[in-house]
Amino acid sequence: MILKQLRLSRLLSQEQLAQMSGLNVRTIQRIESGHKPSTETLKCLAAVLEVDVLTLTEEHFTMDKKSTDWQQLPTGLKWLFALNFFSFRPSRSAACRVEIISHGFGFVFCLLGIWSEPALAGGLLLLANAYLFRLHLWLGDKYGVWYDADGLG
């Protein structure tokens, strides 16, 4: 079920969604963890999220290319994701790989910095890049912009 992705793409917390739908927060948590909701619960959530019940029962979240959600994002954020590896289909898995590789090589180069000052500088730059990609991943999760099949990884 794609409830979590829909909720995050609308910048809603579980508490806000529960309050707007008239459901208990625990109910939202159970649904997001994989429990099957009742038809009445699905109707309440669909009304709040402005989607039909069938959309809520889908397994994968696909972005509506005609949606105006992208227009509401800050310009800098739109460019950040549009230029994600020169691809107009932001991929969370690719961003994760860059973060992991940057962390790994950053630590290695920092250790080499014991003997070589340029290696230390390079390691620090790689670590800074890794933390910027962590921010990139957080923003992508927050705004629900990923095109990966698994959604939020």
Looking at the fold, whether 113 and 85 belong to one and the same domain comes out as: yes
Looking at the fold, whether 22 and 45 belong to one and the same domain comes out as: yes
Q: What CATH number does the domain containing 31 carry?
A: 1.10.260.40
- Cα gap 4→61, rounded to integer Å: 10
Looking at the fold, whether 41 and 85 belong to one and the same domain comes out as: no
Looking at the fold, whether 45 and 85 belong to one and the same domain comes out as: no
Range of the domain at 132: 69-143
Q: How many domains does the chain have?
A: 2
Segment (H or E) for 97 = helix 92-112
Query: Looking at residue 90, what is its pLDDT?
Result: 67
Residue 34 lies in a domain: yes
Looking at the fold, whether 33 and 12 belong to one and the same domain comes out as: yes
Alpha-carbon distance values, 23 to 82, 124, 143, 150 (Å): 36, 47, 23, 26
Mean pLDDT, rounded, for 29-50:
86
pTM exceeding the 0.85 threshold for the entire prediction = no
Mean pLDDT, rounded, for 102-127:
94
Over the stretch 55-71, which tens digit does the pLDDT of each residue have? 777 765 555 555 555 56
Looking at the fold, whether 52 and 81 belong to one and the same domain comes out as: no
Query: Looking at residue 37, what is its pLDDT?
Result: 87
Single-letter residue type at 53: V
Six-digit token string for 130: 């890794």
